[in-house]
Structure 1
Amino acid sequence: MALPVREQLKYWGAALVVLLVLLWWLGDVILPFLLGAAVAYLLDPVADRFETLGLSRVVSVALMTVLGLILFITLSLLVIPTLVTQAASLVERIASIIESAPENVARLQVWLSGTFPGLVERFPDIGDIEQTLSRSLTSVTGAIRERAGTLIEGALASFSGIVNALVLLVIVPVVAFYLLLDWDKMVARIDELLPREHAPTIRELAREIDRTLASFVRGQGTVCLILGIYYAAALALVGLQFGFVVGAIAGFLTFIPYVGALVGGVLAIGLALFQFWGDWLWILAVWAIFQSGQFIEGNILTPKLVGSSVGLHPVWLLFALSAFGAVFGFVGLLIAVPVAAALGVLARFGVHRYTDSPLYRGTAEDDGEGHDG
């Protein structure tokens, strides 16, 4: 005899509460296993593709592991040091720009006094702007300069406090390797444990969640990589200082729609104004790089790689990242996108069931009475 719906909701609700409490309580302990599971999930289609070419699962996973190690070593030796160096130099450059602000304000005051002589007489306090701004910016500049040399190392050290070198270099790859090796077996075992009454519905929802999540994460990740390379290479070609790190930032933030182009564009154009001031052709070229990037993303990359039916609205994604990050910390940021995808699928399923139910449509008698009335 099947359990009543109310009893089932109590059991599943209790299981959900226990899961959330465990995520909050275990925190960083569970982090390497979540990272390993995320890597295994992302790479499972690649392993399946190798198997279709005639390789065994073990050989496929071993080959992917070797390729991953080569990629990691290459990034460690070539890309990451350049990013760190340019990021530290960028902080130093911003400090210099802030430091020169009082001089620019003084020149602006001289120009205003010569062009609009009545302005200073009408607003006598305008003469104090330079002194006030100079004192404020001097203190800010001093703080930035003191930390410019250690800002990047401090950020990396803080990151290492959450995800230490042992996790990154040992535990995560090992967890990912074993999960990827037995991924299909684990999925089959979970399918066997599904409640028989609801197994077809759960399978359908799981397939929809997997499709949504895979389309978004894998597709958007590819878009981020392509745009990051494009922005970095294009900005380097026009000669923009720190173009490599600005391109990397813009590409990474493209994961959140419109944010990458906005942040990267403002940062790049701001740097271009100071570097190419008076040479408007190069400033226009920097602007054109981000405009073309937006056009390529919106009309070519996103429709082809992500698709229009993913169902993860940017506002919903931002809310999920903010909420889960605030409650569960770094672990929350990892699970925010999968949970957002799952909740979106469940919400659409619930709306579909509601629109097919008598609660929405009413009964035949009600329709007849409404028609007669």
Structure 2
Amino acid sequence: MTIQRQIAFWILALVVLGLMLFTLRTILLPFVAGFALAYLLDPLADRMQRIGIGRLGASLVILVLFVLIFIITLVILVPLGAQQVTAFVEKLPSYVTRLQQLAAEQGGPLLERLGGSKALQEMQTSVGNLISQGIAWFGSFLQSLWSGGQALLGIFSLLVVTPVVAFYMLVDWDRMVSTIDSWMPVKQRDTVRSIARDIDRAIAGFVRGQAMVCVILGTFYAVGLSIIGLNFGAMIGMTAGILSFIPYVGSLTGLILSMGVAIVQFWPDWTMILATLGVFVFGQFVEGNILSPKLVGESVGLHPVWLMFALLAFGALFGFVGLILAVPLAAALGVIARFALKQYLASPLYRGGDAAGLKHQVDADA
């Protein structure tokens, strides 16, 4: 089989896989969530095996503990979070109005000198329209995700089917990996294994590492803002921590929300406003210099813009399933794209006839 036919075959396979996922997106959520859960917990099962616990027993213990922790967290945190979110949404219009008033009071004289009262009115109208459009877009995006989640099998299927799927996947994980490995083309098996290891390293390094970063930052922001006495501090802090899964997005979102609330709540006390700012500055410093280098590392290769695009694109196409698939698919595509670029730079297409030896070396390294 020529290289052109192999490329055509794999492109066709990817297209068929994409069409299958899109067609079956209404029933995929519990299965994709179970697969993701098994993938994340597989290293723990391997460690338990090494200390003498059988694979079946290790999988059962891990899943039972995970489900118990998940249920306890759901019972305790979800009601509290729902109350805070509801109260924040109710007060959001008044916060926006107050911020506009403060902007008009503090910046009004300068704007009147520059452009008169008309410029001030235009500024207020533009800010109000921008905020309204942003809230409407975010609400419609959340509604599309929620409707997509409802169109699947619902919360009941997620809570019941996902642990069962995760259990069976976790028990048979090593066997499945070995079987899939045996299906790889013999001549390209070493290359495929190398790419698969890079993809696994990227996914595992980012998901597990960034999840720890999110937990630590969310806890720090929530505690810090609550100590300051900021209204909705715990909700804003946890939201910033969750959104920190996309580097810089969580801190920036939390900073904007907390500073807006702080200005309305504490004005004209600049000490408390600066204290709110200090929480996020310190958190960003710790994330950039300690947490991300230690927990995530530099070899992941997931650019924040690419990750943001993947989350929005797959979320819009597949709902909650898309959000689960976005990170592994983005990591896999990134690894494959880097490999393809490496092959191209060593090919005659890029260097002409002098590239044969270099391409052979690249193949050997891969």
Q: TM-score range by the shorter chain?
A: 0.7 to 0.9
Select 2:265's aligned residue among 264, 275, 280.
Answer: 275
Superposition deviation, residue 95 in structure 1:
2.7
Matched, 1:36 2:34: yes
Deviations 1:211-244 (A, max 9, x none): 0111111111111111011111111111111111
> Could you list the runs of 5+ residues in structure 2 that have no partner in the other structure?
357-366
Closer, same or farther: CA 348–155 of 1 in aligned 2, 3 Å? closer
Select 1:225's aligned residue among 193, 211, 215.
Answer: 215
Deviations 1:232-273 (A, max 9, x none): 111111111111110111001111111111010110111111
Superposition deviation, residue 74 in structure 1:
1.6
Select 1:75's aligned residue among 73, 76, 79.
Answer: 73
Select 2:182's aligned residue among 185, 192, 197.
Answer: 192
Amino acid at match of 1:335: L
SS at match of 1:197: coil
Superposition deviation, residue 60 in structure 1:
1.1
Select 1:6's aligned residue among 4, 12, 34.
Answer: 4
* In structure 1, distance between residues paired with 2:355 and 2:248: 50
Aligned to 1:161: 150
Following superposition of structure 1 onto structure 2, how do residues 220-369 of structure 1 map, counting pairs within 5 Å?
220-363=210-353
Following superposition of structure 1 onto structure 2, how do residues 43-192 of structure 1 map, counting pairs within 5 Å?
43-98=41-96, 123=116, 129=121, 158=147, 161-162=150-151, 164-192=154-182
Amino acid at match of 1:65: L
* In structure 1, distance between residues paired with 2:274 and 2:164: 48
Aligned to 2:364: none
* In structure 1, distance between residues paired with 2:116 and 2:86: 41
Aligned residues: 346
Aligned to 1:15: 13
* In structure 2, distance between residues paired with 1:176 and 1:298: 34
Superposition deviation, residue 328 in structure 1:
3.5
Alignment identity in percent? Answer: 46
- Contact kept in structure 1, 2:348 and 2:355, CA below 8 Å: no
Aligned to 1:370: none
- Contact kept in structure 1, 2:209 and 2:296, CA below 8 Å: yes
* In structure 2, distance between residues paired with 1:63 and 1:278: 55
- Contact kept in structure 1, 2:59 and 2:171, CA below 8 Å: yes
* In structure 2, distance between residues paired with 1:99 and 1:270: 11
* In structure 1, distance between residues paired with 2:64 and 2:70: 10
Using CA pairs below 8 Å that are at least 6 residues apart, which structure has the higher relative contact order?
A: 2
* In structure 1, distance between residues paired with 2:60 and 2:355: 65
Select 2:199's aligned residue among 190, 209, 230.
Answer: 209
Closer, same or farther: CA 100–186 of 1 in aligned 2, 3 Å? same
Closer, same or farther: CA 155–74 of 1 in aligned 2, 3 Å? farther
- Contact kept in structure 1, 2:215 and 2:242, CA below 8 Å: yes
Over alpha carbons, which structure has the higher Rg? 1
SS at match of 1:298: helix
Closer, same or farther: CA 285–50 of 1 in aligned 2, 3 Å? same
Aligned to 2:25: 27
Superposition deviation, residue 197 in structure 1:
1.8
SS at match of 1:93: helix
Amino acid at match of 2:32: L
Closer, same or farther: CA 155–270 of 1 in aligned 2, 3 Å? farther
* In structure 2, distance between residues paired with 1:201 and 1:287: 49
* In structure 1, distance between residues paired with 2:119 and 2:197: 65
Range moving further from structure 2, 15-24 or 324-333: 324-333
Superposition deviation, residue 78 in structure 1:
1.4
Superposition deviation, residue 306 in structure 1:
0.5
CA RMSD in angstroms, aligned pairs only: 3.4
Q: TM-score, length-normalised on structure 1?
A: 0.82
Deviations 1:132-156 (A, max 9, x none): 97xx99xx8xx99xxxxxx9x9899
* In structure 1, distance between residues paired with 2:151 and 2:13: 27
